Structure 1
Amino acid sequence: MATDHPFDVLEYRDGVFRAARVRAIREVPLRMVVNGRELVRLMFTGAHPRFLAAGYLLSCGLIESARDIATLDVEEGPDALEARVALRNSQPRAHALSVTSGLGRVLAGQGQRLRTQLPLAKGWVDPAAVVRLAAELHARSDLYRLTRGCHNASLCSAGEMLLFRSDIGRHNAIDTLAGQCLLEGLPTGDKMVVSTGRVASEIVHKAVRAGIPVLASTAAATALAVESAREHGLTLIGNVDAGGFRVYSDPGRLAG
Structure 2
Amino acid sequence: MDVQDDKVMQKRQILKFDLKKMDEQVKEVSDDIAVEFALTIKVNGEEFATMICTPTHLKELVIGFLASEGLIRFKEDIEDINIDINTGFAFIELKNKSIKASEFNEKRFVGSCCGKSRQFYFQNDVKTAKTINSKMSITVPQCLNLMSLLEGQSKHFKKTGGVHQGALCNSTDIVIFQSDIGRHNVLDKIYGQWLFKKMTLQDKCIVFSGRISSEVLLKVAKIGVGLIISKSAPTNLALDLADDLGITVIGFVRGSKLNVYTHPERIIT
SS in 1 for 2:125: coil
The residue that corresponds to 2:114 in the other structure is: 102
1:29 to 35, 38, 41: 38
The yes-or-no answer on 1:118 pairing with 2:125 is no
Please give the secondary structure, in 2, of the residue aligned with 1:252: helix
Q: CA deviation at 1:202?
A: 0.7
Q: TM-score, with normalisation over the residues of structure 1?
A: 0.90
Q: 2:73 & 2:193 partners in 1: Cα distance? A: 14
Structure 1 residue 250 corresponds to structure 2 residue 252: no
Distance in 2 between residues matched to 1:104 and 1:37, nearest whole Å: 24
3-state SS of the aligned residue for 1:7?
strand
**One-letter amino acid of the structure 2 residue matched with residue 231 of structure 1:** D
SS at structure 2 position matched to 1:46: coil
Compute the RMSD of aligned alpha carbons.
2.1
Give unmatched runs, 5+ long, in structure 1: none
| Aligned equivalents of 1:98, 1:23: Cα separation in 2 | 27
Asked if 1:6 corresponds to 2:11, the answer is yes
User: Do the aligned partners of residues 206 and 107 (structure 1) sit closer, same or farther apart at CA in structure 2, a change above 3 Å counting?
Assistant: closer
After superposition, residues 216-231 of structure 1 pair within 5 angstroms as 216-231=229-244
Given candidates 170, 175, 200, the residue that maps to 1:162 is 175
Contact residue 35 and residue 85 of structure 1 kept, 8 A: yes
Which residue identity lines up with residue 81 of structure 2 in the other structure? L
Matches within 5 A, 1:103-252: 103=115, 105=117, 106=120, 108-121=122-135, 124-250=137-263, 252=265
Checking the alignment, whether the CA contact within 8 Å between 1:98 and 1:108 is kept in structure 2 is no
Total equivalences in the alignment:
253
Structure 2: 5+ residue stretches without partners: none
Tell which deviates more after alignment, 245-254 or 39-48.
Answer: 245-254
Cα drift, residue 116 of structure 1: 4.4
For normalisation by structure 2, the TM-score amounts to 0.86
Higher mean displacement: 5-14 or 171-180: 5-14
2:126 counterpart SS class: coil
Are residues 62 and 146 of structure 1, via their aligned partners in 2, closer, same or farther at CA, if it must alter by over 3 Å?
same
Matched-pair identity in %: 26
Range with greater deviation from structure 2 (143-152 or 105-114): 105-114
Q: Aligned runs of 1:53-68 on 2, under 5 Å?
A: 53-68=62-77
Which deviates the most, 57-66 or 199-208? 57-66
Residue 85 of structure 1 deviates from its aligned partner by: 1.2
More helix by share: 2
The CA deviation at 1:110 is: 4.2
Q: Deviations over 1:189-236 (max 9, x none)?
A: 321110111100110111111111111110010000001011111111
